Structure 1
């Protein structure tokens, strides 16, 4: 009989606690975000997020990843890969992660691979293991659906973020500008560490408990100021 997600989460925490320090390969997706959150809770400042970007990575995805890392409270380093060469992107990314770990004197490099990846992405998983990367989510037996469930339980703002098969070539500039303005409005209302995400005309604002309480007091004013940006609904949620 398979273990419960909560039991697997405890196994994950125990595994992370045994590592002393770690660089986490962080994409901003739900898998690496859950791992990053647990590493931050168990290792404190000895957990560092590193995002290795290919040349065609959408800039708005990086903006969201930065905001989530800021909410979690970890140091976030961005490394950019150059195009060309005969070495695969995965190999380049693994090399860059190990380089950052050596520079910062971190003992381990972790990625967000999980149990479903062992069947769907076995080659890339094997390459990561060969490069010395560890996969605590996989070692704890967590599946994608369980990761989403735990991320939702922990209040992670991207718990239902879908995985994109390839980066978009063209940014939605209008949406990016609207989110920037919405972020500014939220911060002026006192929520300096809040994160905003949009789904159509709905705006999600994720923040800590104290900031959510403060925003709730000004919810009518917040909604009124968001309407000119095209957001007809504002949803507040706890980030932790």
Structure 2
């Protein structure tokens, strides 16, 4: 019989209790917020949060992470992790995510050792198993724990239980680091990361719920949910978006007719 989200959460809670103490890789996203909340409920002060600060991580997300930990009385450690300094990363190879996760989690293992914490945990879920995710290889190599996958929780399960726990993130848009907006092989620069960050923030401020601004040279390819297409193409919105995007440094502004979808840059991998 298929397990309910509530039943899976019980498995998650036992798994975390058995670990004893954890450093939670915390991005303030749907998954890691839920994981941190449950870990803190089960382990108290033996669950601490760690967030990496870098130019590929929007300031709004860092502020949300800080606010959540402050409101919930969770100890929060911020690590400096500049991906552009990792050898080969800025050239955006197909294993970019592996390079980033390897560097990040090595730092978090250092935090765990210093704080005498038993395990480092991260928030990937069952839905992450189907896409191209080289970062999961680094996670496995380093012995990082994935409690949500252990409990076989899907994104929908996590949203359901987040809502039940009163978490504001239960319906938050999915997020991935800004480097994922670049087509493989295109150089990642701090300037272009800032362009993407500003562009996505504009769309969020305009009320779009789930957005991606993919960058191809100086071309912006906007992805929004199909039911938000009509709002995107309203004349006044088009004019505002084009004006602002060009001010950020984009030459052309386009709309993806397939709409938002996870990992759309991976569609080129088989070519």
TM-score, normalised via structure 2 length: 0.61
Checking the alignment, whether the CA contact within 8 Å between 1:54 and 1:89 is kept in structure 2 is no
Q: What is the match of residue 49 of structure 1?
A: 49
Q: What is the match of residue 86 of structure 2?
A: 85
Q: How does 1:159-198 map to 2 (within 5 A)?
A: 159-167=170-178, 168-170=196-198
SS of 1:50's partner is strand
State the Cα distance separating 1:166 from its structure 2 match.
4.3
Segments of structure 1 that go 5 or more residues without pairing to the other structure are 175-197, 201-240
User: CA-to-partner distance for each residue in 1:51-103, whole Å, 9 max, x for gaps?
Assistant: 11332321121111111122232101111213223262111101111010011
Aligned equivalents of 2:161 and 2:206: distance in 1?
Answer: 22
- 75-84 or 113-122, which moves further after superposition? 113-122
- For the aligned residue pairs, the C-alpha RMSD in angstroms reads 2.4
Change (3 A) 1:44 1:119: same
SS of 1:158's partner is helix
Q: What is the match of residue 64 of structure 1?
A: 64
Checking the alignment, whether the CA contact within 8 Å between 2:51 and 2:76 is kept in structure 1 is yes
Q: What is the match of residue 263 of structure 2?
A: none
Aligned equivalents of 1:34 and 1:121: distance in 2?
Answer: 24
- 117-126 or 30-39, which moves further after superposition? 117-126
Aligned equivalents of 1:165 and 1:172: distance in 2?
Answer: 12
Q: How does 1:6-45 map to 2 (within 5 A)?
A: 6-45=6-45
Is structure 2 residue 136 aligned with structure 1 residue 125? Answer: yes
Aligned equivalents of 1:90 and 1:138: distance in 2?
Answer: 17
State the Cα distance separating 1:133 from its structure 2 match.
0.4
State the Cα distance separating 1:121 from its structure 2 match.
4.4
Q: What is the match of residue 162 of structure 2?
A: 151
SS of 2:85's partner is coil
SS of 2:69's partner is helix
Aligned equivalents of 2:206 and 2:36: distance in 1?
Answer: 24
Aligned equivalents of 1:48 and 1:166: distance in 2?
Answer: 22
Aligned equivalents of 1:91 and 1:64: distance in 2?
Answer: 24
From 84, 96, 116, the equivalent of 2:127 is 116
Checking the alignment, whether the CA contact within 8 Å between 1:52 and 1:96 is kept in structure 2 is no
TM-score, normalised via structure 1 length: 0.68
Aligned equivalents of 1:120 and 1:173: distance in 2?
Answer: 26
State the Cα distance separating 1:158 from its structure 2 match.
1.1
State the Cα distance separating 1:126 from its structure 2 match.
2.5
Aligned equivalents of 2:69 and 2:132: distance in 1?
Answer: 26
Aligned equivalents of 1:170 and 1:145: distance in 2?
Answer: 29
Q: What is the match of residue 148 of structure 2?
A: 137
